[in-house]
Structures are given as C-alpha cells and as structure tokens.
C-alpha cells in the first residue's frame, strides 16, 4: 500500500467476500461427482474475487487442480500452490516457452492446436494437458489431429461443453464424441464437465470436474438453485444526501424526475467497479437491515444515485449493501453472471469474512 495511506484506511466502497459460501459451493459441487476429483477455474483473477485468496481457501479445502487462462495468471499464483497443479487453458505460444519451462513443476500447458503441440515437443515435451474440440468450435484440437498426440506425456485430456446450461441434443453428442476420444488418447485423466456439466450427471464427470462460475455464486442450472450461495457482496458508503424538489431531474440527461420532494443518496460506485449502465433505474441497494432502496437516474462512471424512503434515517457515511444476487442482478442489468463477477474492479477493498 502507498505509504501515504495508513494500513487501517477504509475505502468508500468494499467487497465483502464469504469464505464459508465459497467452501460450501465447492463441497456441494464436489459431492455431485464422488468418483472424480474436483478442480477449480480461477482465471480472470478468481472470477473477479482475487485469485490468490481463492486459491488459498480452496487449497485448504482440498482442491488440487486449478485452471487459469494465461501464463501470467499461472505465474501470479504458482508460489501459492506448491503441492497442487495449474493448467493453462490457452496453451502455449513461442513467447510463453521460457515461462512454461520455469513453472514446469506446478503448471502445464493445455495444448489446443497442432502448432502448440509442435512447440511443446520442440521445447522438450514435459507433462502437458490437451484440449480436444467436441463441438464448441472454439479452442481445441480436432479429432483428426489426435495422431499428433502420440509421444506426448499427457496428464489431462479435456473438452468443453457448449450448451450444458440447457437440455439440448448437443450435450449427448459431445459426450459421445469425448467418449470416443478417451478410447484413442493416452492420458492419465479425462475431464469434460464445467459448472453446468456437473449437473448433467455422472456420465459427464469422468476423472476430473472443473467448476468455475458456480464456485463464485452463479447458478449454472436449475438443479443447483438451492445449493449455490452468493459469495460476493459489494458495499458502498453514502457520500451525500440531498433533497430534490418535485419536477427536478437526477443524473445525466435527467432520466429520472422527482414526482415529489425526495431525499437522494449518492454513493461511490460505477463503471470501474463493474456497476454498469444497465443497472440504471433497475438496480437496488439494501440497508444493512435489509430495506431495499432503488437506483434512480443513470449509473455514471463513479457515482450511483438512490431514492431514500421517506422514513429513512440514513446519513452521510452510512453503508449500503448493493443487491448483487447474481441471478437477480443479471435480470436487472442485462449482463451475464460471468460479466458481473469478472467486471468487479480493483478499487474495491476486498475483505474475506467467516
């Protein structure tokens, strides 16, 4: 921290994170696949929560397999997890080889293309993972590329479900293709199921499941609705309270106009905090005893305005909790739960509770 800022400094907005909810979500997902190991996707800085602390918490809970997108993400957590493994989902470029070799004791590339396979073999061909495309047509080797894998030391062979959040024929098609891959690839383990895929049942679990969104409070399918708990709770302090006269507008372009004299609270929250314009006129905050306060006017870069109830005794400096239930916030904002979590900005002070 900057020397000018005392260690007990409290910012005007903070992110309260529930260790108990994160662990409970992990335990429930783990229990759905008792015959498989349960890993964790911690890419995008632990889905916006802070990868370092997420990894520490989940490692203490028994997680031994972590998935990141890039080598920079792997390097950021490699020193935290010496007894476990990190899989780098986006594979390997020539520019990544030196870092990959340096992290070889804890991290493996997930090879996605023939060029990446050749690059890794040319670099010495230590243990690796491979991604085989079974229908998402994103990253991954094609079925026709499988002969290129001969001679590789493959720890985990992965594929990724495209539509596991819906009951569609594509799920069974991808499962059948991956079962065929398993008969042709020499790997120690096989992994297909993401958060939603875990809920599709035992056929999809194979040796390793790798939840992401559900760990952090996103409900991937209906089967998980009552079992997945909210982890991230943004809070903000009231910067100002003013009374707006009837007929006066609030915020950019006066999209909200007071019908009667109304007390307006302004809090420090906005685009850089992942609270985007879609919450304008749809979002809400909650007092710490649960009273809902609607967002009015436009969310702007750093500020949000709320209409206080007539009976409210809130004053400047009081804290409000932002309604960030992921399903409800997605409906309010038009954003996906993934966007909501990964947009949480670096200005929040993050506090892990319980």
Residues designated catalytic = 43, 252
Whole-angstrom CA distances from 255 to 147, 258, 259, 268, 334 are: 61, 10, 13, 19, 18
| Cβ(154)–Cβ(187) below 8 Å | yes
d(CA 254, CA 241): 18
Instruction: Give me the sign of the Cα torsion angle 26, 31, 36, 37.
Output: positive
CA nearest 197: which of 163, 225, 227? Answer: 163
| Cβ(235)–Cβ(14) below 8 Å | yes
CA 166 to chain centre: 20
Sequence-ordered list of residues with C-beta below 8 angstroms from that of 258, at least 6 positions apart, any chain: 244, 245, 246, 247, 248, 249, 250
Q: What are residue 104's DSSP bridge partners?
A: none
């Amino acid at each position: 921290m900057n020397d000018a800022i005392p260690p007990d400094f409290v910012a005007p907005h903070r992110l309260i994170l529930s260790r108990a909810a994160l662990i409970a979500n992990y335990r429930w997902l783990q229990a759905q696949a008792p015959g498989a190991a349960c890993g964790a996707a911690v890419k995008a800085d632990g889905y916006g929560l802070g990868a370092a602390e997420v990894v520490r918490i989940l490692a203490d809970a028994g997680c031994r397999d972590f998935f990141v997108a890039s080598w920079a993400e792997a390097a950021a957590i490699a020193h935290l997890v010496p007894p476990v493994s990190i899989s780098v989902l986006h594979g390997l470029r020539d520019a990544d080889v030196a870092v990959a070799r340096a992290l070889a004791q804890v991290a493996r590339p997930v090879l996605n293309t023939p060029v990446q396979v050749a690059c890794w073999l040319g670099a010495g061909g230590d243990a690796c993972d491979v991604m085989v495309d079974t229908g998402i047509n994103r990253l991954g080797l094609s079925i026709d590329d499988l002969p290129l894998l001969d001679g590789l030391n493959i720890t985990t062979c992965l594929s990724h479900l495209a539509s596991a959040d819906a009951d569609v024929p594509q799920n069974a098609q991808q499962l059948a293709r991956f079962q065929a891959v398993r008969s042709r690839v020499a790997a120690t383990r096989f992994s297909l199921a993401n958060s939603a895929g875990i809920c599709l049942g035992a056929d999809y679990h194979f040796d390793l499941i790798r939840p992401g969104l559900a760990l952090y409070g996103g409900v991937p399918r209906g089967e998980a609705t009552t079992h997945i708990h909210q982890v991230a709770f943004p809070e903000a302090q009231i910067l100002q309270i003013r009374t707006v006269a009837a007929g006066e507008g609030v915020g950019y372009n006066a999209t909200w106009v007071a019908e009667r004299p109304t007390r307006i609270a302004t809090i420090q929250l906005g685009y850089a905090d992942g609270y985007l314009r879609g919450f304008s006129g749809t979002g809400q905050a909650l007092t710490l005893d649960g009273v809902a306060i609607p967002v009015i006017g436009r969310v702007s870069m750093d500020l949000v305005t709320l209409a206080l109830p007539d009976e409210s005794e809130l004053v400047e400096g009081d804290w409000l909790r932002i309604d960030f239930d992921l399903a409800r916030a997605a409906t309010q904002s038009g954003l996906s739960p993934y966007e909501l979590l990964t947009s949480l900005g670096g200005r929040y002070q993050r506090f892990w509770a319980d």
